[in-house]
Amino acid sequence: MTMTFDELGLAPGIRRAITDLGFEKPTPVQMRVIPFLMTGDRDLVALAQTGTGKTAAYGLPILSRTDPANRRTQTLVLCPTRELCVQITRDLLSFATYTKGVSIQPVYGGAPIDAQMRALERGAHIIVATPGRMLDMIRRGRAQLAHVQHVVLDEADEMLKMGFQEDLEAILKTVPKGVRTLLFSATMPRQVATLAGRYMNTPEEITVGERNAGSDMVSHEYYIVHARDRYAALKRIIDVYPTIYGLVFCRTRLETHDVSTRLMEDGYNADALHGDLSQAQRDRVMGSFRTRHLQLLVATDVAARGLDVSDLTHVINFSLPVDAAQYTHRSGRTGRAGKPGISVVIVNMREEHKIGVLERVVKTRFEQKRVPSGREVCAAQLHALLERVKQVDVDEAAILPYLAQMGALLAELPATEVLKRFVSLEFNRFLAYYKDAADLNATRLAGTERSPRGQPRERKPGQMTGFIVNLGVRNGLTPGDLIGLINRASRGPIFDIGRIQIDHDRSYFEASGADPRILTAGSLPSYKGRPMQIRAFESERTAPPPKRHGAHGGKPPMR
């Protein structure tokens, strides 16, 4: 059943404000949460994806029930980052435009504490805070929560993931016993469920979509490349979408800095957002991205929290998050406000099995795509260029005095030649760059295919070749290290590796699936400063290598 905001019982000033903001009809989470919060005092657990309108879902009814005449703090909103704190405050202030006398105060770290303390002393009906700074205010006696009626835990899963559990519990112990607690989260991991069980009283659970699932407006794609080609694949994906407006997620600050620097050096309109930036730098970058002066923002998961942009076309996972549930937050940055979006994952061959894990998390099948060829990129760029030409507004009066001169200069050239030359002015660099572009797609091991659950199916058994390596326990070698060295030596995981045995001063392994001479020819990687040497020994997997005394007691370790 479709409802309007007029039917949800909101205060007249609130309805007027959201009309000015262009709110036409409630989102699914708003349609279910707002009526629930407008009546009664029961606790709530609401599970919905980022970008579904959760701030308005709790903010509109809380503002409608706020008493401006009572100067005491009536609502406390806790969220994981400064950026989200500022964003929530900004949204609540816009909702309260016509609600006279309501005070909303953000409290967060990274800003002078004195000004925030003075603001709290003057009184705030609603405090929006990060857990660490809020707990500091409570311990300093600057925040008075004895009359709080609502506590909102916004993005609870993120707060717990960032290590705020102790701070949250300390804060929740200071609020009145009968306070109404509202927990909003994109996912429901065990930590969140435990927190809800400990501090909430038989809460109502409202789930929009399937629990922990991704948005229906987001399509999920993945590309398989060799690790060394990851950045080149990123550029191809960006280039094949000339009008892309997206977030590129990296796992670490160092990787974020490296990728953003390379993109900028290669001429892309990009910048970085990570923890090493000063607050002024972060504000500048986020402001530029929100206003679309930046086309691409390269960010870590934590840095991107609170970045509220409704029209991103793409989210690109340059590297996968450590926690698969974090992918839900990443992909939820696109496909918002009823607009479709694309979430892209770039994986190497050893990571391909993780696609199945992500599919189970978001409950959606991912589509494998091929990294675009140079010809495909050029076609996409040419199409975008011609579309821009078609949409150019021509100032007839300004251009008229020059038409005769242009006609005279170009009179010798046929119309098709003129067209080719004008296009080439903009397009030549793409043609030159992609003229002999290599195929970046990694080939799956022969005889394997990805199963519906995302796990590679086993290959048919084949002849194995045995190899001896001049590294062992005394060098600190582990089976995982050895597999990594083999993949580096062969420029990708093209071998099916069998048994491995690590002895004191040398190691043995068996492999099939490619010409074994690849491993014994050319330059080989070093391990902890010692050059790697590999030689094959004649074996057809009839017996394991000779048993040696070592850290594994002679038994091949589990892989």
Three-state SS string over 97-158 comes to CCCCCCCEEEECCCCCHHHHHHHHHHCCCEEEECHHHHHHHHHCCCCCCCCCCEEEEECHHH
> Distance of CA 181 to CAs 77, 81, 167, 175, 507, Å?
10, 20, 16, 10, 59
Please compute, for residue 42, the number of CA atoms within 13 A of its CA located in the half-sphere on the CB side: 14
Domain borders along the chain are 5-207, 218-373, 375-433, 465-537
Superfamily of structural domain 5-207: P-loop containing nucleotide triphosphate hydrolases (3.40.50.300)
pLDDT of residue 539: 43
Report the residue count for the chain.
Answer: 559
Identify the segments of the chain with pLDDT beneath 50: 445-449, 451-461, 539-559
pLDDT of residue 4: 85
pLDDT of residue 448: 44
Q: Are 89 and 189 in contact (CB under 8 A)?
A: no
Q: b/e string for 29-48 if b means 16 or more Cβ within 10 A?
A: bbbbbbbbbbeeeebbbbbb
Question: What are 260-275's pLDDT values in tens digits?
Answer: 999 999 889 999 988 7
Query: How far apart, in Å, do the first and last CA atoms of the chain sit?
Result: 54
**218-373 and 465-537 share one fold:** no
Tell the CATH topology of 465-537.
Alpha-Beta Plaits (3.30.70)
- Taking residue 216's Cβ as centre, other Cβ atoms within 10 Å add up to 12
pLDDT of residue 281: 85
Q: What angle do CA 275, 135, 179 make, to 5 degrees?
A: 120
**What is the DSSP secondary structure assignment for residue 535, as one 8-state letter?**
E
Question: What are 216-242's pLDDT values in tens digits?
Answer: 789 999 999 998 899 999 999 999 999
- Taking residue 481's Cβ as centre, other Cβ atoms within 10 Å add up to 16
DSSP 65-84: T--TT--S--EEEE-S-HHH
Task: Tell which residue, 215, 267, 258, has the closest CA to residue 238.
Answer: 267
**Strand pairing class (526-527; 530-531):** antiparallel
pLDDT of residue 213: 53
pLDDT of residue 557: 33
Q: What is the CATH code of the structural domain delimited by 218-373? A: 3.40.50.300
